[in-house]
Amino acid sequence: MEVLPDKVPAIQYPAEWEFRIICDNVEKTVSAITEVMEKREYDLQASNISKKGNYFGLVLRVMVIDETQRNSDYEKLKGYPSIRYVL
C-alpha cells in the first residue's frame, strides 16, 4: 500500500480495528469499554504496565462497520477520566 504525504490510507470496511488504550484504573476502564461497546463483541488484552505501576496499557480489538463508528468509538473512549490516551 502506497501512502502519499497528503493522502489518508484507504480502509476497507467493515474492518477489525485495534485501539491502544493507556489508563490509570483498569476496572474503571473496562467498565467504560463495556459501556462504549454496548452489545458488540470485542477482545480486550492487557499490554504494558508503567515502571511505577501508575499506568496500564490495554489493546481493544473490535469490528467497526465504517469510519463514523470508528471515530465515534474513539471519541467516546477518550472522554472517560480513567482513560489517558487512545491510539
Cell of 64: 467497526
Residue 53 is assigned to a structural domain of this protein? yes
**CATH number of 55's domain:** 3.30.70.260
Domain that holds residue 49: 15-86
Cα(68)–Cα(23) distance, rounded to whole angstroms? Answer: 24
Residue 61 is assigned to a structural domain of this protein? yes
Q: Taking the model in full, what pTM does it have?
A: 0.88
- What's the pLDDT tens digit per position in 12-62? 999 999 999 999 999 999 999 999 999 999 999 999 999 999 999 999 999
Residue 3 is assigned to a structural domain of this protein? no
pLDDT grade, residue 75 (50/70/90)?
very high
Distances (CA, A) of 63 to 6, 15, 40, 85: 27, 6, 8, 20
Distances (CA, A) of 27 to 5, 10, 34, 63, 71: 39, 35, 11, 23, 24
Instruction: Report how many domains make up the chain.
Output: 1
